[in-house]
Amino acid sequence: MAKKVISFLIFLALVGIVYSCNQEISVSPPDAPPPHGYVLIDSKPDGAQIYLDGKNRRRITPDSLTWLETDTYTITLKKELFRDTSISIDAVDGERKEFFIDYTKNPAMRGEINCNGKPDGSEIFLNDSATGKTTPDILQGLLPGYYKVRYHAQNYRDNTLDVVVSSSNTSEAKTQLVDTTKWMDLNTNTSNIPTNNLTDITVDDQNNLWIGTEDNGLVKYDGNTWQIYSPGTSIIQDSKVNTVNYSVDGTVWAGTKFGLFLLKGSSWIRYNDIKYGSPLAEPYVVDIVNSIRGDVYVITHTIILNFFDSSGTWKFDNSDFRPTDTLSCMAVDMAGKLYFGTKDAGLYAGDNTGVQLKTTNSNILGNSISAIAADPSNGVWIGYGSSIATGTGIDYYNGSFEHYYVIPSNVQTHSIYADNSGMKWIGTNQGLITFTTATDAKKYNKETTGLEMNDVRGVVKDKLGRTWIATFGGGLILKKK
């Protein structure tokens, strides 16, 4: 019986196969083949990004676009510094086409450089090749790119500028060459000075320069070699020296936020709190000045005033008045009169009694005093912060105020040096100002000299009559004449 059942099932299966073979079979049509349009895009110079109908195809010339249908397309090339360039192309399925864009043949692609190197008549070199031109002039028809413009003039130091040229634009190459007959700069590129960030300067009897720095302690320069006194090489505890001084007994003084450090010959003495035998109860030294009789005065930000006399002993200054405001600077005039500048409370001036001079009780220019210096005749010169109330300038004070508006607006005075010839040297955060009268002021900065002297922190004349300028950022500068 089982055999019959199996045979029957086989029969039904065969019938089903035959029946299905007689039915109509449904088959989907095959996919259309992809388009085979091919376009090669090239350019001179190459390296341009390829956009197809506004979409970045992430291709850089020379490269190809494939699988294009027969159609008209917009190709846009984008290259740094060059103007965008667009062309219309026709792609044909199954065909290979090539398109070439020559940037160099389109005048609109080119730019120019306005060469304005001072002094006028300086020779112009482009990428170290002579152009045959002199300043002022314009170098025209330049392909976009990065260029080096060098200026050369006799008795001036060559200067090279990096200039970027872009399509249809004029780039500026403006500079002042350094007159080597008038200036010499000693910075980390031209000398072994340890830093370009200087804070103060003085000179000793042997014509050595002593320089305070922002980040390398105290530096001595004898005209040939540099000697560094910093943490690790001396007892100076801070890399920043706020102020330096040289006294008649041959001592070099350096003031820091950690106290006072004296170099007598080859021996160091430290004064930074009472346990070292000093009444310097607050260690942050902001100024050190000499008096005509040889005393050395030291002030801190606090109300404490101390001085060290020629006998070698510390004394509290009990005889004179004591300012009660935050001190910023000090001077002693030729008569021995003391002057103290404050951060925001004006000027203290006095002998055994003192007077506070502010904008509310005098015609002083401002209450924020940032520098004071004694005049060789008598009286003092006073410089201000940039926020003074009645104008920008400096004052001469000898019982009354005389205003000298020789400083541009919003400029802070860092230092003042009055020499024996009547010249005043004003170090500011926008360069050096010199004058003898109110009408003959001159400004020296990078624009006028080519030197990095936009921030002047101190000026001194050495025993040979040469003027040395300590800058923050430009190192040490010698004004030859």
By the 8 A CB rule, do 156 and 190 touch?
no
Q: pTM of whole model > 0.85?
A: no
Q: In what order do the strands lie in the sheet with 159-165?
A: 129-134, 123-126, 145-152, 159-165
Answer left, alpha or beta for residue 141, where phi above 0 means left and psi between -120 and 50 means alpha: left
Q: Which tops the pLDDT comparison, 13 or 255?
A: 255
Q: How far apart are CA 288 and CA 212, in angstroms?
A: 12
Which pairing describes strands 37-44 and 96-102: parallel, antiparallel, or unpaired? parallel
pLDDT bin (cut points 50, 70, 90) of residue 200 is: very high
d(CA 146, CA 177): 22
pLDDT 10s digits, 94-125: 899 999 999 999 999 999 999 999 999 999 99
Percent of all residues in the chain with a pLDDT value above 70, rounded to a whole number: 86
Q: Give the full edge-to-edge strand order of the sheet including 170-176.
A: 137-142, 111-118, 170-176
The contacts of residue 233 (CB under 8 Å, 6+ apart) are 217
Q: Domain 37-105, what architecture?
A: Sandwich (2.60)
- Phi first, then psi: what are they for 20, rounded to 5°? -65, -30
Render pLDDT for 142-160 as a digit per residue (tens, 0 to 9): 999 999 999 999 999 999 9
Please say whether the beta carbons of 396 and 402 come within 8 A. yes
**Residue 287 bridge partners (DSSP):** 299
According to CATH, the topology of domain 183-479 is Methylamine Dehydrogenase; Chain H (2.130.10)
The CATH architecture to which 110-176 belongs is Sandwich (2.60)
Nearest to 429 by CA among 379, 475, 380, 385: 385
Report the pLDDT value the prediction gives residue 276, as an integer from 0 to 100.
60
pLDDT at 7: 53
Summarised one tens digit per residue, pLDDT across range 164-190 is 999 999 999 999 999 999 999 999 999
> HSE (CB half, 13 Å, CA atoms) of 196?
14
**Helix (H/G/I), strand (E/B), else coil: 276:** helix
Say which DSSP state 237 is in.
-
Helix (H) or strand (E) holding 179: strand 178-179
The whole-angstrom separation of Cα 197 and Cα 211 is: 10
* Separate counts of helices (H) and strands (E) for the chain: 2, 44
Residues of the chain with CATH 2.60.40.1120: 37-105, 110-176
